[in-house]
Amino acid sequence: MEILRAIVLGIIQGLTEFLPVSSSGHLEIAKCISPSDMLAEESMLMTVVLHFATALSTIIIFRKDIAEIFAGLFQFKMNDSFLFSVKIVLSMIPAVFVGLFFESEIEALFGGQLILVGSMLLITGVLLFLADKAKHAEKNVGIKNAILIGISQAIAIMPGISRSGATISTAVLLGIDKEKSARFSFLMVVPLIFGKMAKDIFSGKISYESSSFIPLIVGFIFAFITGLIACKWMIKLVKNSQLKYFAYYCFIVGILVILLFAYNQFPCQS
């Protein structure tokens, strides 16, 4: 049973890390649909392992870009590699600031507030639809744009706002090439994932039992493989202007959640 659960969690993590449907929003919905131990959040250790798996899949797919980032950071020369590295660092600042100074306010948003989740899913849908219909552009990510994309990533901490959807849509609407928008979106989150992992590891809240070793390995493998597929798929979808299908999905789920909550149809409301 634990292995099956690890497989499901791995697949969900691999998909929702890259597809613009808001994993946090779906988790809030799931918790309210079945508020029992069966759908309790995975252990912190499993969370760290699954996030490491998707981060590793991102690193493998974008290994050349990441090598360029590190080269730029250590060269200290005003060339394209260094400027790209600066843009990545700048894009991280808003999310880091919000995470450090508004932690309690953020946690308050994750308490079964499904009207908020539904509304944010609608906003995600609008962003995706607008980005999908945006005219083709070939701009690169500039310093100012990197900060704006970073602000959208910080806003996407809210449940129901897709991180990848918000950052990619913001970049596309700023006139940046669609494929470059997707690549920048996935690259800018890698340092944040490792930062969050480090925070969790050193928090002292992680416990490990030898019996959980196999489920952890299984979860890692499925998250890693699913992440590789989802990341490549997402880049192709953005490039071919197919984000509208995810927009429709967000519209449907968002409206259903708002209506069901308004009529007290969720188990968590009883």
Reply yes or no on whether the pLDDT at 112 is more than 80.
no
Burial 225-260 (b: 16+ CB within 10 A, else e): ebbbebbeebbebbeeeebbebbebbbebbeebbeb
Reply yes or no on whether the pLDDT at 268 is more than 50.
yes
Going from the C-alpha of 187 to that of each of 135, 162, 192, 230, the distances in angstroms are 24, 16, 10, 15
Task: Look up residue 218 and give its DSSP letter.
Answer: H
**Token pair for 140:** 């690169």
pTM, 2 dp: 0.85
Tell me the C-alpha distance between 80 and 64, whole Å. Answer: 14
pLDDT tens per residue, range 196-213: 777 777 766 666 555 578
Task: Look up residue 176 and give its DSSP letter.
Answer: B
Average confidence (pLDDT) over 215-222: 92
> Binning pLDDT at 50, 70 and 90, where does residue 168 land?
very high
End-to-end CA distance of the chain: 29
Regarding predicted confidence, which is higher, 270 or 67?
Answer: 67
Tell me the C-alpha distance between 239 and 252, whole Å. Answer: 24
pLDDT at res. 256? 96
